[in-house]
Structure 1
C-alpha cells in the first residue's frame, strides 16, 4: 500500500527534486545476478591467490574433498576461506550500513567511516585490549557494538549543536572531528598501556589472519542484520522522500529511524570487530547502486550488499598483489577509491552550507 501511495505521489508535479522515486527492476536483477556470479569468482580468486599460488582445482578439492595431510588444503581451509568469507561479509555490512544511513538522513555524505562509527568501535576495542586483556572474540564484538553507538551519538550531538542546524557537510565535518579525536585517544591508550602491536591490525584495516571463530560469530549478525535491513527497505524508500511526506503517508518515522540505527550499529560493530577500520565502502557503494538501480531500497539493499562484498574481496586481492609478498593494508586500497569520491561529493554538497 505504501509503495502504491508513492507511485501516486510521483504522478503529481513534485515541488522538490528529491521527492522523485525511480526504480529499474530489470537493471537491478541483472546487477544482482551478475554481481553474485562475480562475487563467487572473486572468492575463488581470493582463495587461490597469495604467497603460495594454489590452482582452482586444488581449491575445489580442498573444499569438497578435504585431505588434512596436504599443506595446500590446510592453508585453504584454515586461512584463505575464512579470510575470503570475512571480506565478502564485511563489505556487505558496510555497504548496507551506508545505504541505510544515507536513506534515513537523506545525507549523501553519510557512511560508517565518515560519521565516526568505525572510529568509535576501534576506540572501544583499544579499551578492551588495555583494561580487559584476554577478551574473547565475542567480547570484542560487544565492545565494538558499544563503540559504534558512542561514535554515532557524539557525531549527531555535535552536528546538531552547530549554528544553522544539521547539514550534510556539517555532519561530515563533525564526523571527521570525532573520528580524529577517537583515533587519537585510541593511539594514546595503545602507547600508554603498550598494546599498540595488538591493536595495530584494527588501525590499518584488513581481513588477514581472520579465523573461523570470527566468521562463525558474524554469520548470525549477517542473517539478523541483513534480514532487518530488507524488512526496513520499503520504509526507508518512503523516508527518503522526506520526513514530512513519510508522515503524510502514515509512516512511524521515529520507529523506522530507531530500527535503522540499530541495524547500522549491529552491522558496523560486527565489521569493525573482524576487519578493523575500513573506510569509504559505505560511502561509495550506495551511490553507485542508486545510480544503477534507482531509489527503491528493496533493490538497493541486496545490490549494495553484493557490490560491497565484491569490492572488498577485490580490494583484499589487490592488497596482496600490490607489494607481493608483503601485504598492503586493505584500508589504504579502499581509501584510494573513496577519497576522490568523497571530495567530489563534499564539493557538490558544500554549496548548501
Structure 2
C-alpha cells in the first residue's frame, strides 16, 4: 500500500470515529421522555400506581393510559377505564360498536382477555385474588383466577361472592365453593331435575365425592337418573341410549313380571342420595338411590276388581366414569321385586256356645227408623 492510499484510509477512519462520537453524544443528551414521545402526552390526573411504580393516568380527554416508573409511556391513552390487576395486566374498558366493553390488556397494550364483558370485578379471599366477569351478550359469568385463567370449564347464569363463599348458579343447580390460596374447594351442590312431570332435588355435601365429581358430572348423573325412571315407567327402551354405552339388559322396568298391573304412574321422586361403590370389575363407580312415589292400577286376583295402589319404591342407578367423556350408566333397577299389595281380610272364625255347642251367629246391627224404607201409612176410609 503506497503513502497516498494509507493517508486516505487514515482520514476515513478519523471521520468514522468523529461521526460515531457525535451520534452517541446526541442520543445520550436526549431525555427519555423525548425519545419515547411522552412529551406529547398530557397527564391531567394521576389515578393509580402499582407495586412496580407503573402509573395509570388520565389525559385531558378523559382517556386513560399507563406510564412506567420512569414516566415513559407504555400504554397509550385510549381506554375509558383502566385498573391494575397484577402480573403486568390491566382491566380495561373501551367503547366498541356503541357499547362500553371490558377485557384485559398487558403493559404492551396486547389484549389478554377478550373485550366481551360488561364488567370484570376483583374479589379477594385467603390472600388470593380471583375475578368474576359478566358477559355483555347474555349475562353469563366466567370465573378467572389471579392469572386470568378460567377456573371452570363452563359459564354460569349467576355468580356471587359472600362471606368467603363463591356461589355459582346454572340451569341445573346451585354450587358453593370456599375460595382459598390453592383455589376453589367444592363445598356443596344442590341440583334439580324433572322427569315425567315430577320435580326432584339432589343435595351433596360429601367432600370426598365433591373432590371427585365436578358440577357438570353431578348434573349429568342426576339427568340420567331421571331418564332411567322414565324408561322404568314407560318401557321406552330408546331412552337408554341417552344415558349408557353399555348393554340395555342391565336396566329393568318397575315390576316387569307382574301381569296384574294395568298401568304404572310416577307421582313424585324423593330421598335422593349418591354414594361411591365398587363395581364387579373392581373399578370405582357411583350409585344414585331414590324413592319413586308410584301409583299402580291393577286387577285384584281375589275379587277381579280394578284397583289402585299408592306406595314408594326404591330405584338405584349405577354409573362408571368421573368426567363428561367417560361417564356412563351401567345398570338400573328397583330394590323391590313386587308391589306390596293389600291382603284380603281373613274370614272370622266361627264361635260356638260353650254350653250348647251351637253356632253363635254374629249380631246384626239394629235397624233404626230412619234406615227403614219409606212406606205409605194406611188411612181409614172416610165416613159417609
**TM-score, shorter chain, exceeding 0.5:** no
Normalising by the smaller structure, the TM-score range is under 0.3
Q: Which has the higher contact order (CA 8 A, sep 6+)?
A: 1
Q: Tell me the TM-score normalised to structure 2 length.
A: 0.19
Give the TM-score normalised by structure 1.
0.20
Higher-Rg structure is 2
More helix by share: 1
